Amino acid sequence: MKTKPNYKLVVIVSLAALATLIFFSFSRASIASAQQSKPVVVISPGHGILGDDGVTIDPGAVYNGLIEKDINLEVAKYAEGFLKRCPVDVYLTREGDDDQHTLIQIAQIVQSYNPTVAVAIHANSGSQSGTEGWYTEGGYDDANSLLLAKALAESVSAQVGINDLGTIPDSRSRFGKLYIRDWKVPSAIIELAYLQKDYELLENNQEDFGRAVARAILEYLNISPLCADNAVAQGVFAATYFPADKGNNTIKILNDGVIPWRQREYALKSIGDSRGAESSYPIPGDITAGEIAKWQIPITAPITPGVYRQIWQIQRGEEKVGSEVTVYMVVVPQQAKDLKEKIDNFTFR
Note the pLDDT of residue 37: 82
Note the pLDDT of residue 6: 47
The pLDDT of 43-47, averaged and rounded, is 98
Q: For 211-232, what is each residue's pLDDT tens digit?
A: 999 999 999 999 999 999 999 9
How confident is the prediction for the chain on average, in pLDDT? 89
The percentage of the chain sitting over the pLDDT mark of 70, rounded to a whole number, equals 86
pLDDT surpasses 60 at 8:
no
- Measured in degrees and rounded to the nearest 5, phi and psi for residue 96 equal -170, -155
Note the pLDDT of residue 347: 52
pLDDT surpasses 90 at 5:
no
Q: For 172-186, what is each residue's pLDDT tens digit?
A: 999 899 999 999 999
pTM of the model: 0.85
The pLDDT of 87-103, averaged and rounded, is 97
The percentage of the chain sitting over the pLDDT mark of 90, rounded to a whole number, equals 81
Reported confidence tier of residue 36, pLDDT bands at 50, 70, 90 = low
Neighbours of 11 (CB within 10 A): 10
The pLDDT of 102-108, averaged and rounded, is 96
The pLDDT of 7-24, averaged and rounded, is 38
Q: For 62-74, what is each residue's pLDDT tens digit?
A: 999 999 999 999 9
Reported confidence tier of residue 16, pLDDT bands at 50, 70, 90 = very low
Note the pLDDT of residue 14: 41
CA distance 94 to 48: 8
Q: Which of 187, 186, 184 has its CA nearest to residue 112?
A: 184
Reported confidence tier of residue 346, pLDDT bands at 50, 70, 90 = low
The pLDDT of 261-277, averaged and rounded, is 95
> Given the DSSP bridges, would you call strands 40-45 and 89-92 parallel, antiparallel or unpaired?
parallel
Q: Which of 349, 335, 329 has its CA nearest to residue 248?
A: 329
Note the pLDDT of residue 27: 37
Reported confidence tier of residue 238, pLDDT bands at 50, 70, 90 = confident
Note the pLDDT of residue 130: 98
Domains and CATH numbers, the chain: 39-228 (3.40.630.40), 231-344 (2.60.40.10)
Give a three-class secondary structure readout of the chain.
Answer: CCCCCCHHHHHHHHHHHHHHHHHHHHHHHHHHHHHHHCCEEEEEECCCCECCCCCCECCCCEECCEEHHHHHHHHHHHHHHHHCCCCCEEEECCCCCCCCCEHHHHHHHHHHCCCCEEEEEEEECCCCCCEEEEECCCCCCHHHHHHHHHHHHHHHHHHHCCCEEEEEEHHHCCCCCCHHHHCCCCEEEEEEEECCCCHHHHHHCHHHHHHHHHHHHHHHCCCCHHHHCCEEECCCEEEEECCCCEEEEEEEEEECCCCCECCCCEEEEECCCCCCCCCEEECCCCECCCCEEEEEEEEECCCCCEEEEEEEEEEECCEEEEEEEEEEEEECCCCCHHHHHHHHCCCCC
